[in-house]
Amino acid sequence: MSTVTQPAPVVSVDPATGEVLREFECTAEAEVRAAVERARAAQPAWHELGISKRLQVLRRFQTLLHEQKSDVARVITRESGKPYVEALLTEVVVALDAAQFLIASAHSLLRDQRIGHANLVMKAKRGWVVREPYGVIGIISPWNYPFNIPATEGLVALAAGNAVVIKPSEFTTLSVLELQSLLRSAGLPEALFQVVPGAGATGAALVDSKIDKLIFTGSVASGKRVAQAAAARLLPVVLELGGKDPMVVLDDSDLEVASSAAVWGAFVNAGQTCLSVERCYVHQNLYERFLAAVVEKTGKLRVGNGLDPQTEVGPLIHQRQLQIVEAQVEDARAGGARVLAGGARLPQLGANFYGPTVIADVHHGMRLMREETFGPVLPVMAFGSEDEAVHLANDSEFGLAASVWTSDRKRGEAMAARLQAGTVMVNDVVSCYGISEAPHGGVKSSGLGRTHGRFGLEEMVRVKYMDSDLLPRMRKVWWYGYGPEFSRQMEGFVDFLFSRHWGARIGGGLRALKAYFRRGWL
């Protein structure tokens, strides 16, 4: 007799202490389908409620999140390991600001838009674009920012009139449940935002269910599998697949500011940030001084439990991620790179701690400069010219974000225009994600589509063109009734519309006018 094996539960664990916070049964395929059907049944009424009333729910959510900011941040810290202040600023504040953006802007961005007609013949029509919700948006969210990513994506979907079914990372289910609880307390009907805990099989079931669009954040390998599954039924997707973001420090940069930025940009959230500084290129005139500065500042960082207010760098999420970081560092060391700080586990703090690491004399033959690290490692490489720096920065399969550092803003902007990335910042790193008005997304293997801002909102709607003729009792000149004479008349019609000579235009218009009086018009 065959037996059905129940998948192991997913477990939320404090990565700093190893404490099991909670276990969750994996949502089975049938339960995922049922959740999507509940969402589909509830979505039309939510859309018909209108944008103003939908935004009232988001406003109440924003108020509740602000009131409970500390409690929510502590949940995020316990589940993801990041310092409490980072949970507050990079998760809670980002979600609050995303809600504020929608409250202030969604109504104007979603309203019907008149479309003008330049073609003279089409002047007798009135056209406009209507934005309609897809229906049910599926979201598969990651563990590194377990609250702000599902919040920023989910709030936009809801504002546009969709329902949401979300599969969180199996490592950070509690954070998404906090989001769900706040939305329900704000008055959102339960079926409009549902969480389906689980691992890979649950995510696959969501992709295969009758959702209308999928927003996925994760690795390139997983994103490709998701895209292949979605393509089988033409399911539209937005894919945010990580990066290998370069930081370019030009010879006129402020050394103190740039070195501080590199340290924070590389080690924030223990480097587990898709926008983190994963490759640092420094002009050869500054190289050794820059290295000395970042090594000194890295040595001052306090590593520990994120709930300790003194902590600046927390643990990695789990052993598998630590092993990836460790393997890349050892590969670089074996290839001749100099490890100037860190480069080892910190077992005295716990199983998942790795020392913030600075590595010099790296090159693109090393895994550390090619593969996404997602850990507290800052590799630094020298360059001689701007052209070389651009070549090195663009020499990657990824293209999520980049930064340029210089005292000459115009110079920085000129280089930024040459870099292949979805976002390029001049004299700042990472914070672009916290700008709710700015689109977030990448090129090359970093993904497809955009979240955040106007372009993120556009991803949550179908665009319908509406057209109404103002002369409904007039037959159109291009309708049936063809023949040799009609062909000559239509040649005149083309001349009337597009000839660069007024004489030809006038003559063509007179010929075309005869078409209105032709015989055999159906």
Q: What is the mean pLDDT of residues 338-361?
A: 98
Predicted confidence band at 7 (pLDDT cuts at 50, 70, 90)? confident
Reply yes or no on whether 25 is catalytic: no
Q: Which residue has the tokens 């990335």?
A: 421
Query: What is the pLDDT at residue 111?
Result: 96
List the catalytic residue out of 79, 153, 170, 274. 274
167 pLDDT above the threshold of 90: yes
Mean pLDDT of 73-102: 98
For residue 137, list its beta bridge partners. Answer: 164, 213
Q: From residue 114, how far is each of 51, 97, 120 by CA, in Å?
A: 19, 29, 17
240 has catalytic annotation: yes
Is residue 88 predicted with pLDDT exceeding 50?
yes
What's the CATH architecture for 31-112+127-242+454-464?
A: 3-Layer(aba) Sandwich (3.40)
Domain 246-428 -> CATH class: alpha beta
Judge whether residue 501 has pLDDT over 60: yes
Catalytic one among 91, 240, 372, 459?
240
**Which residue ranges does the chain devote to CATH 3.40.605.10?**
31-112+127-242+454-464
- Joined tokens for residue 491: 């040649």
CA nearest 303: which of 344, 354, 378? 354
| Predicted confidence band of residue 29 (pLDDT cuts 50, 70, 90) | very high
At residue 519, the pLDDT reads 83
For residue 5, what pLDDT is reported? 61
Could you identify the residue written with the tokens 């602000």? 66
Mean pLDDT of the 5-27 span:
93
pLDDT for the residue numbered 2:
46
Q: What are the tens digits of pLDDT across the range 444-468?
A: 999 999 999 999 999 999 999 999 9
Start-end of CATH 3.40.309.10 domains in the chain: 246-428
Order of strands across the sheet that contains 213-217: 193-195, 163-167, 136-140, 213-217, 237-240, 447-448
Tokens of 445: 């293997």
* 316 closest CA partner among 286, 346, 336, 359: 346
Euclidean distance between CA atoms 16 and 407, whole angstroms: 40
- Res 382: pLDDT: 98
Averaged pLDDT of the chain: 96
45: closest CA among 127, 107, 133? 133
- What pLDDT shows up at residue 94? 98
Band of the pLDDT at 317, cuts 50, 70, 90? very high
For the chain, the 3-state helix, strand and coil shares in percent, each to the nearest 5, are: 45, 20, 35
User: Average of pLDDT values for 388-415?
Assistant: 98
Q: What is the rounded average pLDDT of the residues 314-321? A: 97
Q: Supply the pLDDT for residue 4.
A: 52
Assign 278 to helix, strand or coil. coil
Structure tokens at 481: 């009734």
Stretch 355-384: mean pLDDT: 98
pLDDT for the residue numbered 95: 98
Tokens coding 216: 């996925």
pLDDT tens digits along 225-282: 999 999 999 999 999 998 999 999 999 999 999 999 999 999 999 999 999 999 999 9
